Amino acid sequence: MRVSNFTLLLTLAILMIIGAAFIPLVDVADKPRPRQGKTLTVSFWWQGASAKVIEQNVTSRIEGLTASVRGVESVRSESYFGWGQVTVKLKKNADVSSVKFEIASLLKQVRKRLPKGVSYPILSGGEVINEQSRKETTRLLLTYQINSNLSDEQLKEYIQRQVEPELKQLEDVRRVEATGGVSKYIEITYDPFVLATYGLTATDMEVAIRSFIGRNDVVGEVTNTEIDGHKQRMALYLSTRKFSRPLEQMPIGIVDGKTVYLNDLATYEYKDRKPSSYFRVNGLNTIYLNIHVDAEANRIALSSKIRRQMKNIESGLRKGIYLTQTYDGAEEQESELYKLVWRSLLSLVILLLFVWLARREWKYLSIMTITLVANILMAIIAYWLFDIRLHIYSLAGITVSLGMIIDASVVMVDHYSYYRDRRAFFAILAALLTTIGSLIVVFWLPEYIQKDLYDFAWIIIINLTTALLVAYAFAPALIESLHYDSRQHGHIHRRRLAIGWKRFYTRYINFTQQRKWIYMVLLLLVFGIPFHALPSKWGNQNGYAWKTEQKERSWYERAYNATLGSDFFQLKCKEPLSKVCGGTMRLFAKSLSENTFSKKEEQEIKLTIRAQMPLGGSVHDLNEKVVILENFLTQFTEIKRFETRVESWGANIIVQFREENLHTSFPYLLENKVIGKVISIGGADWSTSGVSERGFSNSLNLQYRSNRIEIAGYNYDRLYRIAENMCDRMRQNNRVVDLIIETPGYENQEDEFYMRYDKERMTLYDFDLRSTHQMLREILFGFDIDHYRDEHISAPMHLRSSRQASFDLWHLQNSYLRVKGTDTKLSDLMDIERREAKNCIPKRNQEYILRVAFNVLGSYTYTSRYIERMTREFNAKMPVGYRCLNRTKGWYEDTGTQWWLIGLIVIIIYFICSILFESLRLPLVIISLIPVSFIGTFLTYWLTGVEFGTGGFASLVLLSGLTVNASIYVLAEYRHIHSDFGLSHSALQCYVRAYNHKISAVFLTIFSTVLGLVPFFIDGNSSPFWFSFAVGSTGGILFSMIALVFVMPIFLNLIE
């Protein structure tokens, strides 16, 4: 049944209205929607327990339970001093919720069998994550500077009480912290020997102080029975009455019937606390309010919401407190998002302007405009239905697809306005399916590329699908309603040009049809034969340093090595053949840099300065050095902002530049000046990154070992003995130096003093080890105990020994300690030695991993053979469950780009075209244009010098689907004309007629696609991915015009 044009247009209007209404409902953000993670983490704590004890009693049990769960791919664990964690990686198709539930049930069962003092294991993970931010759970979004006439301590407490609760109520706000300023504390210092004369211990003093301070909180609930018998549960609030005398008169205990007070045993002082970390902006040590949010939150929307909330909070603050916003982490993303929206609108305007200039017909322009707007609005309905998020990459997908959308309308309008039938729809369907087929391979790309192009591909697929619907149903209805007929429009001079071109084109095809093989060979040489890419040898050329020389090679490997891999070919023939036959492929390969497929993300230029103290250095020493560098940076007005963090692991300074100085030479000039400054400061390992390609580092890393052998096993002690035996065996070779046993991933652990007891002497002298440890604890004791408050002071209290700083290694070895009334010299009963602390014990799949690292004084070949021999020797005599793993790496192998996917695209296009044309030969003609169009891409990158990158590879993927579209339109028309006029016209005449009918529409589609990419050229290299994508696509699409006109007839049999 034929549907009337009125019904179709009314349906179109309704769909456009619905699409417009859905615009506010579409999810718009600055990054792709996070996907559900496949990693679970089990964390637990055991205060005071060593890493070895935790591993043996807790970690191994939990690891064994989780490894047995169905759907678990791998398990790894780390056991530290006082805590540990087990990380579970699930299989790709595993149900995260069911696996998480099963592990939670098992943890509940094993809890009763864990040692006393172990916390309940906490299971986390499996939530939505973004691959871009795997390691980040929170991100700093906003920073406010706080000014007030209150003291730092009072201001921090006020902010924590009045501001933090209000902000934490907002969704996705994870942490609110007030940093900077100076805090106070009460330090109580005691002499352990004075305590001993009173018969007291530091623990007695700690208990007495806690009891004196008391409690002021809810301790439980009680039942209150009223007169009428009604029972009510009420909270019981326990409060300690304030002590009316000074703090030094705090009673500690009773000794021989006499009360001992605090001033009899210790002194106290109200001091400034040295912070454990520092945070400053622009070198100013003021108080800042930092708001950290979920790393996957919509930063643009959340920033706006928090800023509105802060305005409401600020209006209710006490007089004299002022908040000033100094940082907004959403500004850059918001700017990029608006830039892409502007690109899309600009692309739309350019396309419509091009359509007008191409035909200069108002009816034609009206049809194109309506169909284009209808496509966009109908696609918005699909975005809402499929819950597609519009972000930076998906908006770029809309911009790129605008040219493809208009292509379908151009071909259908051109055909229907001339023939008044829909036969062109099958060609449009095949053309768009080939493009969709090329985009499907995005889902096989490596994760670091796919995470960005996932929504990009879906957006284009949805837009092309709606373009099919609009082209088939609504474009003909518009043509009929507006009474548009392309046959009525034409000019005499255009017809003369067309006739002249037809004669020339017919003679050209006649000429090339008789000399096909000459042109095919020329095309092959222009494209290139990759002699330059042939390896020197075939077989066992992997990325590891050692090779098995005696391994039997396959017959084809031996044949290759004897011919193309021979010294004669490699030294005498390879280079000349590459220059003669390499073609554009060789030029393109020469233009590729070593970081062509780098996984580094596109980021704004920021100078990052890092500093790290040697082992044993304090955060305060490092801060003094960083302050010198901060004072140096403050003199440069070109710096927009620099943020400093100094923590126990090291310091980090991030320098941001003003917009007008961002793309000048100043960032490089500043980096050089900073390098000179940090060299003069010295005393730490300094490094810079983020500006120049190589950066800077003054770390000598003298402990680096270039060779390593990892050993794995199920018993840690036995594995360590095997590692020691391996070291002893290697020491027999004088060329092996710098031997060390390491824990992989934890190479730079701190040192510790280890006491090795002489058990025979301890038994002989009746030595009480427990009492000795208690005495050492009294001397080295020091930690926070409680918070003291009165009408004058409110500060935490810290209890420490006065001998803590002076009791060093010499005193430990030479001093006599009184233990149970006997003076004992510790060095007589034990050996005290320094060693690397094993503060972490990692496991992978229930196996312990240790690494024997070393250097070899010898050539690369000698080292490879030696490591292979040692690995084979120890593997042969190791017990079952233990093995060696060679981890010495050699050359870098770039596996980032999956070139085989281009072949998959070709196969997809071949089968689609085979179905359309019901032929196995014609699809070969179509796909032959793909490598020809690649010639244009290769030349473009070689001539322009633009970095290829992942954007270039994405352009090749898209180009594979786009370049065949024009040939499909022409060949489909050729088949129709040949079937209608095949008896009266020759094949050549039918082809030239089909070419004349479609070339106008084809050129419009090609130029519209190119013009849709124009906005990506405006920002240039500031967006490397999109700039490279646009350059490669434009070069290939424009060269495909040459391929269509002059190359495709060569592959057809048009003359019998």
pLDDT 10s digits, 946-994: 888 778 888 888 888 888 988 998 998 898 888 887 666 788 889 988 8
Is 591 inside any structural domain?
Answer: no
Are both 936 and 838 inside the same structural domain? no
Side chain identity, residue 32: P
Does a structural domain hold residue 535? yes
Of residues 85, 284, 271, the one with CA closest to residue 179? 284
Q: What is the residue type of 804?
A: Q
Contact 972, 424 (CB under 8 A): yes
Does 311 share its domain with 167?
Answer: yes
Structural domain contains residue 66: yes
Could you tell me if 39 and 87 are in contact, meaning their C-beta atoms sit under 8 angstroms apart?
yes
452 lies in the same domain as 576 = no
How is residue 683 annotated by DSSP? S
Rounded CA separation 292/287 (Å): 16
Residue 132 lies in a domain: no
Residue 785 lies in a domain: yes
Rounded CA-CA distance 529/589 in Å is 12
Domain boundary among 308, 329, 350: 329
Q: Which amino acid is at 570?
A: Q
- The strand ranges marked E within 782-894 are 782-789, 794-801, 816-819, 822-825, 830-836, 840-844, 847-856, 883-886
Residues 869 and 933 in one domain: no
Instruction: Name, in order, each residue with C-beta under 8 angstroms of 743's C-beta and a sequence gap of 6 or more.
Output: 749, 838, 840, 841, 842, 849, 850, 851
Neighbour-count burial for 716-737, b at 16+ CB within 10 Å, e otherwise: beebbebbeebeeebeeeeebe
Of 697, 725, 748, the residue that ends a domain is: 697
Quick check: helix, strand or coil at residue 619? helix
- Domain co-membership, 803 together with 875: yes
**How many DSSP H helices and E strands does the chain contain?**
36, 35
Q: What is the DSSP string of 58-119?
A: IIHHHHHHHHTSTTEEEEEEEEETTEEEEEEEEPTT--HHHHHHHHHHHHHHHGGGSPTTPP
Mark which of 286, 314, 329 sits at the end of a domain: 329
The structural domain count of the chain equals: 7
Same domain for 782 and 688: no
Residue 28 β-bridge partners: 390
Q: Say if residue 717 is in the same domain as residue 784.
A: yes
Q: Are 1001 and 1009 in contact (CB under 8 A)?
A: no
- Give the whole-angstrom CA distance, residue 923 versus residue 909: 8
Per the listing, tokens 């060269």 go with 1039
Question: How many other C-beta atoms are found inside a 10 Å radius of the C-beta of residue 366?
Answer: 13
What is the predicted pLDDT for the residue at 493?
Answer: 55
Quote helix, strand, coil % in the chain, to nearest 5. 55, 20, 25
Hey, is 598 helix, strand or coil? coil
At residue 482, what is the residue type? L
* DSSP label at residue 852: E
Please state, in angstroms and rounded to a whole number, the distance separating the CA atoms of residues 653 and 608: 6
Crossing angle between the packed helical segments 331-359 and 392-419, to the nearest 10 degrees:
10
Tokens found for residue 501:
């071109």
Q: Which residues of the chain have pLDDT under 50?
A: 129-135, 540-551, 594-601, 889-897
What is the per-residue pLDDT for 889?
47
The position carrying tokens 């795997």 is: 134
3-state secondary structure of 1028: helix
CA distances from 434 to 912, 961, 984 (A): 7, 5, 33
- Judge whether 386 lies within some domain: yes
560 is written with which tokens?
A: 């290759």
Separation in Å, CA 910 to CA 492, 828, 930, 968, 1042: 41, 86, 11, 11, 21
Contact 856, 862 (CB under 8 A): yes
Radius of gyration of the chain measured on its C-alpha atoms: 38
Name all contacts of 732-736 with Cβ < 8 Å and 24+ positions apart.
733/866, 735/856, 735/857, 735/858, 735/862, 735/866, 736/854, 736/855, 736/856, 736/857, 736/866
Q: Which residue in the block uniquely carries the two structure tokens 């090339």?
A: 512
Question: Distance between CA atoms of 885 and 711, rounded to whole angstroms?
Answer: 6
Structure tokens at 873: 């020797």
The one-letter code for the residue type at 438 is S
Structure tokens at 98: 């069911």
Give yes or no: residues 691 and 762 share one domain.
no
Q: Other C-beta atoms within 10 Å of 783: how many?
A: 8
Q: Locate all alpha helices (DSSP H) within 288-330, ordered by sequence.
A: 299-315
Question: Is 310 strand, coil or helix?
Answer: helix
Does any domain span residue 1007?
yes
Contact 934, 1008 (CB under 8 A): no
Q: How far is CA 761 from CA 231, 768, 770, 831, in A?
A: 67, 12, 16, 12
Q: Which residues of 219-246 are buried (b: 16+ CB within 10 A; e: fewer)?
A: eeeeeeeeeeeeeeeeeeeeeeeeeeee
Same domain, 910 and 1032: yes
Bridge partner residues of 849 (DSSP): 712
Secondary structure letter of residue 380 according to DSSP? H
Q: Are residues 265 and 282 in the same domain?
A: no
Of 804, 810, 830, 801, nearest to 196 by C-alpha is 801
599 within a domain of the structure (yes/no): no
The answer to whether 638 touches 655, Cβ cutoff 8 Å, is no
| Closest alpha carbon to 1004 in 299, 296, 552, 412 | 412
Other C-beta atoms within 10 Å of 622: how many? 22
The CATH number linked to 221 is: 3.30.2090.10
Same domain assignment for residues 479 and 547:
no
Residue 556's domain comprises: 531-581
Task: Give the per-residue SS3 of 229-274.
Answer: CCEEEEEEEEECCCCCCCHHHCEEEEECCEEEEHHHHEEEEEEECC
Tokens of 433: 């399916």
Give the helix/strand (H/E) hosting 190.
strand 184-190
The enclosing domain of 418 has a CATH number of: 1.20.1640.10
408 shares a domain with 375: yes
